[in-house]
């Protein structure tokens, strides 16, 4: 554009200048040619040379431009042409406004963005038809109209001459080729799309069958499991293992085949990651091998630590560990804040004449409480830890509460770096085996990760410092075996027995729809999710005020004791409808949940997967309904599609069937208002 301007206003003197530039350009071309030849003989890559040439050419061009623009300015000021006068007036106006800018910026900056034009309070400029829309051009055109017409033929001539020159330079390779990007130029290099590249262990996992019922493995077909534990499994009604258990249990047991203290053949065991649908039996997949590995321990020390995100999950997993350690002498301790801190300390260690000794072989903890004990219970140590189980691993990665993992690793490997002979025998983090390390085998630490929505993002998993990990996953489907693209897109799987629906509704009709499901369609054992504890509470009050439904709420509004009691009653079938926040969405194994209703649409795909996973567990059937407002439909269904989940069926509710509920519903709404007012008053006192 600058060149264009320069040529348009070039007078006779400028013609001379132009000729000089021409000579200079030619000299440059010749010099560049000579240098190119010289370099080629010396074997230097031509690209560097080209860059130099380009720099020289652009220097020359800018030099040429600046000289000509200066001349043009001089000429304009002496001219006193109307358009320049107008421009001067505008500049003066800007000075009055106190928004003066350096002159060089004037037109170019103002014309570049309409925003800046607005700021300077200048009237918008009309763009000439056929112009490129820039005000520079516009100004030029108007100036030409005012007095520069006689120059136009000269200008056109020079423009075509310039084009010729440029063409020549291009042909000779002096001007940049199309794949060289010049800042500010309109040339764009086509950027190649980066293809995601997964490490081999993530790209080629061990595939686990998703269908539970068709793939049960009888206990006798798994010789690795100890007969004692088989008996326990049978006593608990388990005659066959689920696919995830049949794959993962032997894999973990393999790493302890020469005893849990010594690594097999001196090698560190691989860490294990498991991604299998909700309700597929992941808990037993770690409980059984860990208990079996510790069956022969002599001294009680903390050998296994399971970390879970909530108190309820800690209780649930502790319960399962207790069932399978019963009668083995192994001790399980939970740290979740269910008991007082001092009571938990007492359950961890005991003072004897010889000092403190551990009362726990297996610790099940929430990350927060665990860190509290690592920092404030001096007798609690993890120096003998063999298994670190991270359940709901994706959630635990997202929420590295109090940096719990590095605190655990510090407690395992010790913080200080010693130099004495003792250093040789100190536990060291997993690293490649060396001759020196082979002489002093150490207890290995093996990480076991479990989730229904385990991240496949290597960057996220990296945070866990996994050692030669192995992935077991059921994210695949038979029909897609020859459709690799579809397989790649599939990120999560849902239980086979789950039927999913969405219910189009509006804000006002939502509670009525819920009542319709409960009272007219006779849904029972319903777990209903909302997105906040406030919504949960109000919906609970409204349904209770309506009457006819045995309803309860579950959220952080309740004390831990109340929460425990509520869950028990719901499991016993005493509660028809449990309205809950996402506190119950993950991991909880509540027997007999038939229906899951998302009263509020979940915002994240993982939340949806865990919510609906509270039903259709262990190969059973279950139904999930999601209430969607019109504005939510597209985004929500797209989210499911992108995750590779099957399409949801639509469940329509006939408005006629809601009419009989309306009168009572209005009364319940009025009652709700009164209750909310009363609660507000109570809160103030
Ligand atoms: N082999 C088995 N045979 C019969 N039932 C089993 C078997 N294994 C596990 N179960 C039962 O299946 C249910 C779900 O198991 P579990 O809670 O371990 O699932 P999960 O995969 O951890 O689910 P989530 O991802 O939701 O935490 C439990 O009630 C459990 O007792």
What integer is the mean pLDDT of 594-603?
A: 97
What integer is the mean pLDDT of 112-125?
A: 40
Percent share of the chain, pLDDT over 90: 51
393 CB within 6 A, ligand 1? no
Residue 526: strand, helix, or coil: strand
**pLDDT over 50 (residue 531):** yes
The predicted structure's pLDDT at residue 364: 98
pTM for this entry: 0.70
For residue range 538-594, what is the model confidence (pLDDT) as tens digits? 999 999 999 999 999 999 999 989 999 999 999 999 999 999 999 999 999 999 999
The predicted structure's pLDDT at residue 265: 62
Query: Do the strands 355-358 and 349-352 form a parallel or antiparallel pair, or are they unpaired?
Result: antiparallel
242 CB within 6 A, ligand 1? yes
- The residues near 656 (Cβ < 8 Å, ≥ 6 apart) are none
**Whole-number CA gyration radius for the chain:** 38
**pLDDT over 50 (residue 53):** no
- Classify burial at 208, counting beta carbons within 10 Å of its beta carbon; exposed 0-12, middle 13-18, buried 19 or more: buried
**pLDDT over 90 (residue 325):** yes
Unique residue bearing structure tokens 């109209």:
145
Residue nearest to atom 9 of ligand 1 (CA): 281
pLDDT band, residue 464 (cuts 50/70/90): confident
Cα(284) to centroid(ligand 1), Å: 7
CATH architecture label of 498-684: 3-Layer(aba) Sandwich (3.40)
- The residues near 351 (Cβ < 8 Å, ≥ 6 apart) are none
What integer is the mean pLDDT of 467-473?
A: 91
148 CB within 6 A, ligand 1? no
Least trusted range by pLDDT, from 280-284, 364-368, 481-485: 481-485
Neighbours of 106 (CB within 10 A): 16
Domain boundaries, the chain: 1-78+88-104+163-171, 206-414+441-474, 498-684
The predicted structure's pLDDT at residue 260: 72
Up-side HSE of residue 181: CA atoms within 13 Å toward CB? 6
CATH architecture label of 206-414+441-474: 3-Layer(aba) Sandwich (3.40)
Residue 313 CA, closest ligand 1 atom number: 27
**pLDDT over 60 (residue 159):** yes
Cα(493) to centroid(ligand 1), Å: 16
CA neighbor of 222 nearest in space, from 210, 213, 214, 230: 230
Cα(245) to centroid(ligand 1), Å: 10
pLDDT band, residue 199 (cuts 50/70/90): confident
- Choose one of 211, 396, 454, 617 to mutate for the ligand 1 pocket test, by most ligand atoms within 8 angstroms of C-beta: 617
- The residues near 565 (Cβ < 8 Å, ≥ 6 apart) are none
What integer is the mean pLDDT of 388-413?
A: 89
282 CB within 6 A, ligand 1? yes
Least trusted range by pLDDT, from 70-84, 318-332, 468-482, 570-584: 70-84
For residues 398 and 178, give the distance between their C-alpha atoms in angstroms, rounded to a whole number: 45
The predicted structure's pLDDT at residue 69: 47
User: What's the token pair of residue 143?
Assistant: 């100036």
452 CB within 6 A, ligand 1? yes
pLDDT band, residue 267 (cuts 50/70/90): confident
**pLDDT over 60 (residue 668):** yes
Cα(619) to centroid(ligand 1), Å: 9
**pLDDT over 50 (residue 50):** no
**pLDDT over 60 (residue 495):** yes
The predicted structure's pLDDT at residue 11: 38
**pLDDT over 70 (residue 182):** no
Residue nearest to atom 15 of ligand 1 (CA): 281
Query: Higher-confidence residue: 161 or 72?
Result: 161
Query: Higher-confidence residue: 557 or 441?
Result: 557
CB of 314 closer than 8 Å to CB of 366 = yes
Residue 280 CA, closest ligand 1 atom number: 21
587 CB within 6 A, ligand 1? yes
Cα(473) to centroid(ligand 1), Å: 16
The predicted structure's pLDDT at residue 134: 36
For residues 289 and 225, give the distance between their C-alpha atoms in angstroms, rounded to a whole number: 8
Same fold, 206-414+441-474 and 498-684: yes
Q: Kindly indicate whether the ipTM for this predicted assembly is greater than 0.90, answering yes or no.
A: yes
Residue nearest to atom 16 of ligand 1 (CA): 281
For residues 608 and 628, give the distance between their C-alpha atoms in angstroms, rounded to a whole number: 13
492 CB within 6 A, ligand 1? no
The predicted structure's pLDDT at residue 147: 39
The predicted structure's pLDDT at residue 426: 57
For the chain, the maximum distance between any two Cα atoms, rounded to a whole number of angstroms, is: 112
Cα(664) to centroid(ligand 1), Å: 41
595 CB within 6 A, ligand 1? no
For residues 371 and 404, give the distance between their C-alpha atoms in angstroms, rounded to a whole number: 6
**Residue 500, strand partner residues:** 624
What integer is the mean pLDDT of 469-474?
A: 91
For residue range 516-529, what is the model confidence (pLDDT) as tens digits? 999 999 999 999 99
For residues 405 and 389, give the distance between their C-alpha atoms in angstroms, rounded to a whole number: 11
For residues 608 and 602, give the distance between their C-alpha atoms in angstroms, rounded to a whole number: 6
Cα(22) to centroid(ligand 1), Å: 83
For residues 628 and 601, give the distance between their C-alpha atoms in angstroms, rounded to a whole number: 6
Cα(305) to centroid(ligand 1), Å: 20
Cα(24) to centroid(ligand 1), Å: 83
For residue range 610-633, what is the model confidence (pLDDT) as tens digits? 999 999 999 999 999 999 999 999
The predicted structure's pLDDT at residue 126: 37
What integer is the mean pLDDT of 387-413?
A: 89
Q: Tell me which range, 96-105, 256-265, 407-416, is most confidently predicted by mean pLDDT.
A: 407-416
The predicted structure's pLDDT at residue 470: 92
For residue range 445-458, what is the model confidence (pLDDT) as tens digits? 999 999 999 877 77
CB of 243 closer than 8 Å to CB of 275 = no
Cα(617) to centroid(ligand 1), Å: 7
For residues 389 and 375, give the distance between their C-alpha atoms in angstroms, rounded to a whole number: 20
């Amino acid at each position: 554009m600058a060149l264009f301007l320069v040529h348009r206003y070039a007078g006779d003197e400028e013609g001379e200048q132009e000729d000089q530039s021409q000579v200079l350009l030619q000299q440059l071309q010749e010099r560049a040619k000579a240098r190119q030849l010289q370099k080629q003989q010396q074997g230097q890559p031509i690209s560097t040379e080209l860059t130099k040439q380009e720099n020289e050419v652009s220097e020359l061009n800018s030099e040429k431009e600046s000289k000509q623009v200066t001349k043009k300015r001089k000429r304009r000021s002496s001219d006193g042409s109307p358009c320049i006068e107008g421009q001067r007036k505008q500049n003066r106006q800007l000075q009055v406004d106190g928004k003066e800018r350096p002159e060089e910026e004037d037109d170019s900056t103002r014309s570049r963005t309409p925003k800046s034009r607005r700021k300077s309070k200048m009237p918008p400029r009309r763009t000439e038809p056929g112009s490129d829309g820039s005000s520079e051009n516009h100004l030029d055109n108007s100036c030409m109209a005012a007095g520069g017409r006689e120059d136009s033929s000269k200008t056109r001539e020079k423009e075509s001459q310039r084009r010729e020159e440029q063409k020549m330079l291009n042909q000779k390779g002096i001007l940049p080729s199309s794949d060289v990007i010049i800042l500010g130029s309109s040339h764009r290099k086509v950027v190649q799309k980066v293809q995601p590249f997964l490490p081999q262990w993530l790209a080629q996992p061990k595939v686990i069958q998703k269908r539970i019922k068709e793939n049960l493995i009888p206990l006798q077909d798994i010789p690795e499991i100890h007969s004692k534990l088989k008996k326990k499994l049978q006593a608990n009604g388990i005659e066959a293992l689920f696919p995830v258990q049949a794959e993962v249990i032997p894999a973990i047991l393999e790493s302890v085949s020469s005893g849990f203290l010594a690594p097999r053949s001196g090698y560190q065991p691989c860490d294990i990651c498991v991604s299998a649908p909700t309700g597929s039996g992941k808990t037993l997949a770690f409980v059984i091998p860990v208990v079996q590995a510790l069956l022969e321990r002599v001294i009680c020390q903390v050998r296994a630590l399971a970390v879970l995100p909530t108190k309820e999950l800690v209780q649930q997993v502790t319960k399962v560990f207790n069932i399978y350690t019963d009668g083995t002498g192994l001790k399980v301790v939970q740290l979740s804040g269910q008991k007082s801190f001092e009571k938990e300390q007492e359950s961890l260690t005991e003072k004897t004449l010889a000092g403190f000794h551990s009362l726990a072989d297996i610790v099940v903890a929430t990350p927060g409480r665990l860190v509290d004990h690592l920092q404030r219970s001096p007798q609690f140590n993890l120096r003998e830890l063999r298994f670190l189980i991270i359940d709901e691993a994706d959630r635990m990665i997202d929420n590295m509460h109090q940096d719990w993992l590095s605190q655990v690793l510090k407690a395992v490997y010790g913080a200080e770096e010693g130099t004495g002979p003792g250093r040789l025998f100190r536990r060291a983090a997993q690293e490649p085996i060396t001759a020196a390390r082979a002489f002093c085998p150490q207890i290995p630490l093996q990480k076991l990760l479990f989730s229904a929505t385990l991240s496949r993002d290597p960057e996220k998993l990296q945070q866990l410092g996994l050692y030669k990990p192995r992935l077991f996953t059921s994210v695949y489907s038979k029909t897609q075996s020859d459709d690799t693209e579809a397989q790649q897109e599939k990120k999560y799987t849902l239980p086979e027995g789950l039927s999913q629906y969405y219910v189009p509704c509006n804000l006002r009709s939502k509670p009525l729809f819920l009542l319709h499901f409960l009272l007219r369609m006779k849904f029972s054992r319903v777990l209903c999710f909302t997105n906040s504890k406030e919504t949960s509470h109000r919906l609970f009050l409204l349904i209770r005020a309506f009457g006819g439904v045995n309803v309860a709420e579950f959220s952080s509004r309740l004390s831990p004791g109340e929460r425990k009691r509520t869950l028990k009653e719901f499991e016993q079938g005493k509660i028809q409808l449990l309205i809950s926040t996402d506190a119950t969405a993950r991991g909880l194994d509540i027997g007999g949940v038939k229906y899951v209703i998302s009263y509020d649409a979940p915002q994240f795909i993982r939340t949806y997967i865990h919510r609906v996973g509270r039903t259709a567990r262990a190969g059973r059937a279950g139904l999930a309904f999601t209430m969607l407002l019109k504005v939510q439909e597209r985004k929500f269904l797209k989210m499911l599609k992108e995750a590779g989940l099957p399409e949801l069926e639509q469940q329509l509710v006939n408005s006629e069937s809601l009419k009989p509920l309306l009168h009572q519903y209005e009364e319940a709404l009025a009652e709700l208002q009164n209750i909310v007012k009363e609660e507000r008053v109570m809160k103030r006192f």
